[in-house]
Copies of this chain bind each other. A is one copy, B any other.
């Protein structure tokens, strides 16, 4: 049995033919090239889907279902709203069937797809109680309970990046103040690094940024590796913010595994070791014999594609 998994992103549209063991047999890709009409985008989705199937040596008749991961809110085959694609109530299921045939269609938010992919085929090793957190431009998250995606009555759930961890804190893009995303995203780390450079212009951190001509998500970590006190402070505070949200999720869900993905997770144990220490010292379940494991995400961008391809398993 084979399925198609599609990752509809703001930059690229990627489709893959996936077997029942979650192996990607072939991928095809095209730029999303916004701004375009939904019709044009769905024409390209169909095109890369057929390309992936063909590259895998399969025919459309071999495909048993299609899964689409998309930004925004999905409700019953409709993409209700996806800001970066300009989608407002797009009949995605219908548009896919029109272009790819009358197959079972599953559509889900992309962060939820990524969580499902990691849970089933990545670091989750088939875990049924799993949370994936992505530290990127924003903080994304997906929640799996009893093997199913938690997205609530309106499919807008799982937005843990928009959990306030500092009431009246710094403004978030969502309109609230003090969201986890505003403290724990890569964007937030860059802002925190820039603020520290301004305050400590003679630090190694400031020097590294000057040499590179920019500040990115690695700058503070690099300064820390050079034993710079300012770099150490920025990284420690940043990890403490990540830990605040992670501990909130542990106290709420007590998942078997919580994985951290996104660009920042390339720091590996440099990030994870102190993060685990913060969570261990703060979690409510100090008396439990079983505890949440905190690990690095494994599948990178493939998580969302695989998750989309196996949505049939989570419905």
Interface string of A127-168 (1 = CB under 8 A from B): 001000000000000010110101111111111101111110
Contact A252 B143 (CB under 8 A): yes
Q: How many copies of this chain are found per oligomer? A: 2
A contact residues vs B (CB 8 Å cutoff): 73, 75, 80-81, 129, 143, 145-146, 148, 150-160, 162-167, 174-176, 183, 240-241, 244, 247-248, 251-256, 282, 284-285, 287-292
CB pair A157–B254 under 8 Å, yes or no, is yes
Complex Cα–Cα for A165 and B252 (A): 13
Q: Is the beta-carbon distance between B153 and A282 smaller than 8 angstroms? A: no
Q: Which of B158, B255, B282 contacts A175 (CB 8 A)?
A: B282
The CA-CA distance from A240 to B178 in the complex, in Å, is 13
Q: For chain A, what secondary structure do more than half of its interface residues adopt (helix, strand, loop), or is it mixed? A: loop
CB contacts (< 8 Å) of A256 on chain B: these are: 153
List the B side residues contacting A81 at CB < 8 Å. 287
**Cβ contacts A to B, 23 pairs, < 8 Å:** A73-B287, A129-B152, A129-B153, A145-B150, A146-B146, A153-B255, A153-B292, A155-B288, A156-B288, A157-B252, A157-B254, A159-B251, A159-B284, A159-B285, A160-B251, A162-B251, A163-B252, A165-B166, A167-B183, A167-B240, A167-B241, A175-B282, A176-B247
Residues of B within 8 A of A167 (CB): 165-166, 183, 240-241, 244
